[in-house]
Amino acid sequence: MHSLIKLLSIDFDGTLVSRVSEPVLDIQCMELIRRLQNAGALWAINTGRSVDLLESGLADFGFPFRPDFILTTERDVFRRGGNRDTWEPFGDWNERCARDHAELFSSANSVLAEVVDFVSQKTKARLIYDAERLEGLVAENDEEMRRIVEFIERARAMHPNLDYQRNTVYLRFCHADYHKGAALAELARLLEVPRENIFASGDHHNDISMLDGKVAAMPSCPANAIQEVQDAVRDAGGYVAKKEYGAGVHEALLHFANGLR
Ligand SMILES: [Mg+2]
């Protein structure tokens, strides 16, 4: 099999797996990923999940084989460890990322305090802490998330390095330089895979940074992707699938792996 695709960056929830419909996992999609891997392509899952939550997802949904790389919490880059069932940081990216975030969270303290006040007084959203540090929040619904994001946008005007990743009712604070697109760019740099050979697929706000055409020349989304994602993919000359979830990823892979036998 010969195809342009050398690196796949695929979101997990809502893209590769469906939590709301059957099948959870599209067998044809997984088979095609397997064939691409056998032909030399590398497969990365690019997710908002932590390493542990992704591992339980891979187990719970019965993944038939493992990805080559995992990009977790919308920022960290891992490759397989010596023992193939473990993950190790790839390069020094995760270290730099952790340092930049530690600096960010101490310098943006007052902005975050404003957000905490707003969220606890004006919404029913739940704040999430990692030890003492505010990590993010979970809104009750999309409408509440819209109001919270509006507030954060105003509050962060004085601190543009403070950004956030939004995925359905989940929000995670982050440094503006770190997102799925940046993590993918670092992985591609380490692997020396050019933009032209990168396929990416995702369904929500936090995926847009890898679907705007800057990092991956083959961006795509399944039909269940939110409108903003579909627009970003179209604007980047990518492929918006007619099918949902894994079946949509399969459709997009076939589209880009044109001429694949
Ligand atoms: Mg998703």
| pLDDT tens string 68-87 | 999 999 999 999 988 778 99
User: Given pLDDT bands bounded at 50, 70 and 90, which one contains residue 59?
Assistant: very high
Taking the centre of ligand 1 as the mean of its atom positions, its distance from the CA of residue 225, in whole angstroms, is 8
Report how far residue 159's alpha carbon sits from residue 93's, in angstroms, rounded to the nearest whole number: 23
Rounded Cα gap, residues 254 and 232, in angstroms: 20
Q: What percent of the chain has pLDDT over 90?
A: 91
Span from the CA of 248 to the centroid of ligand 1 (angstroms) = 13
Q: How far is the CA of 227 from the centre of ligand 1 (A)?
A: 13
Decide if pLDDT at 132 tops 80. Answer: yes
Angle 247-248-252 (CA atoms, 0-180°, nearest 5)? 120
List the alpha helices (DSSP H) in the chain.
27-38, 51-60, 93-107, 109-122, 142-155, 180-191, 208-211, 227-235, 245-256
238 CB-side CA count, 13 A:
34
pLDDT at 127: 97
Distance 15 CA to ligand 1 centre (A): 6
Number of H helices, E strands in the chain: 9, 12
In angstroms, the CA 179 to CA 159 distance is 17
* CA 92 to centroid of ligand 1, rounded, Å: 26
Centroid of ligand 1 to alpha carbon of 80 (angstroms): 23
Tell how far the Cα of 110 is from the centroid of ligand 1, in angstroms: 30
pLDDT of amino acid 83: 78
Kindly report whether the peptide bond that precedes residue 23 is cis, defined as omega within 30 degrees of 0: yes
Looking at residue 82, its pLDDT comes to 82
11 Cα–ligand 1 center, Å: 6
Tell me which residue of 161, 117, 113 sits closest to 133, measured CA to CA.
113
CA angle 194, 39, 75 (to 5 degrees): 45
Ligand 1 midpoint to CA 14 (Å): 4
Q: How much distance in Å is there from the Cα of 233 to the middle of ligand 1?
A: 15
Q: Give distance in angstroms: CA of 72 to centre of ligand 1.
A: 12
Mean pLDDT of the residues in the chain: 95
**The pLDDT value given to residue 184:** 98
pTM here is 0.94
What pLDDT does 1 receive? Answer: 61
